[in-house]
Structure 1
Amino acid sequence: MSHSLGIVIESLVAVLLILTIAYCMLLNKRLKRLKADEQSLKATIGELITVTEIAERAIGGLKHTVRDVNENLGSQISAATALAEQLKAQLAESDAVVRRLSKIAVAARPLTETDPDAPRVSAARANAAAAQAFAERRRPDGIAA
């Protein structure tokens, strides 16, 4: 019996060794897959770092561009505001000129016979009224508008 007990123990040890070898082979495959994944992960991390650096440089360039555009836009808005004020003043002045011209035209218009209620104005008075309207057009610098 001692002989059969030795064979049983030896057989049991052999089976355990076979199971250990099989498990070691399985672990080896998993470790190889893990190492392959580690290499691809390192490559991915390297690419990610490169792309991040490029993005940071691009963001810096965009910030610089935005700053330049903001400065240019601010100066253009200031110039446009000044031009708008200048145009507003010129429009007001032109409106005054048109009003004076209409006074001149009314004063210089001969009376027609179709308007019997209109007062009769002599040519001398019409010329005096036109000259008065022209004198009102004088600018502060002494030149007539």
Structure 2
Amino acid sequence: MSHSFGLVIESLVAVLLLVTIGYCTLLNRRLKRLKADEHSMRAMIAELITATEIAERAIGGLKVTVRECDENLGAQLAAGTTLSAKLAKQVTAGETILNRLTQIALAARPAGADVEAPAATVAAEQAAPAQNPSAQNMSNAKALLAAAQAFSERRRATGLAA
């Protein structure tokens, strides 16, 4: 019995040894796969680092571009504001001159023209709502131009023009 007991123990150790060898083989395969995955992960991490560096450089370039655009737009805005102020002054001066010319034209009308003018003005005012504002301004400007030319011709005819 001691002989068969030893044989059973020896057989059990041999089976356990075979199971251990099989398990070690399985672990070896898994470790090889893990090593291969590690190499691919290292390659992926290197690519990610490279992509991050490229993105950082691109962001730096974009910041410089935004700064340049901001400076350029600021300069253009300042120039536009200055030009707008100049135009506003010129428009005001033009309106002043237009008012003076209107006063001169009204003062230079003969007495008979004053009677006809209100009737024409009333008819023009009644027709004005049907027109758009730019057409009304254009007709007022043409009327003013005609009045100024007539005034100038009368002054030249009487010898009072400069």
TM-score interval (norm. to shorter): 0.7 to 0.9
Q: Which residue does 1:54 correspond to in 2?
A: 54
In 2, the alpha carbon distance for the partners of 1:114 and 1:95 equals 24
Aligned-pair CA distance for 1:33: 1.3
Change (3 A) 1:93 1:59: same
The one-letter code matched in structure 1 to 2:77 is I
1:87-114 per-position Cα deviation (integer Å, ceiling 9, x unaligned): 0000000000100010111012112178
In structure 1, the gaps of 5 or more residues are 117-129, 132-145
Aligned-pair CA distance for 1:56: 0.6
In 1, the alpha carbon distance for the partners of 2:82 and 2:17 equals 95
Q: Which residue does 2:93 correspond to in 1?
A: 93
Change (3 A) 1:65 1:113: closer
Aligned-pair CA distance for 1:9: 1.1
Say if 2:38 is the partner of 1:18: no
The one-letter code matched in structure 2 to 1:59 is I
Change (3 A) 1:24 1:44: same
Aligned-pair CA distance for 1:76: 0.5
Q: Which residue does 1:68 correspond to in 2?
A: 68
Percentage of pairs with the same residue: 60
In 2, the alpha carbon distance for the partners of 1:89 and 1:6 equals 119
The one-letter code matched in structure 1 to 2:60 is G
Aligned-pair CA distance for 1:115: 3.0
If the length of structure 2 is used for normalisation, what is the TM-score? 0.69
Q: Which residue does 1:126 correspond to in 2?
A: none
Say if 2:107 is the partner of 1:107: yes
* Secondary structure of 1:112's aligned partner: helix
Aligned-pair CA distance for 1:59: 0.6
In 2, the alpha carbon distance for the partners of 1:73 and 1:64 equals 14
Q: Which residue does 1:143 correspond to in 2?
A: none
The one-letter code matched in structure 2 to 1:106 is L
Aligned-pair CA distance for 1:29: 1.5
In 2, the alpha carbon distance for the partners of 1:61 and 1:84 equals 34
The total of aligned residue pairs comes to 118
In 2, the alpha carbon distance for the partners of 1:83 and 1:113 equals 42
If the length of structure 1 is used for normalisation, what is the TM-score? 0.76
Structure with the larger helix share: 2
Matches within 5 A, 1:28-39: 28-39=28-39
In structure 2, the gaps of 5 or more residues are 117-150, 153-162
In 1, the alpha carbon distance for the partners of 2:83 and 2:29 equals 79
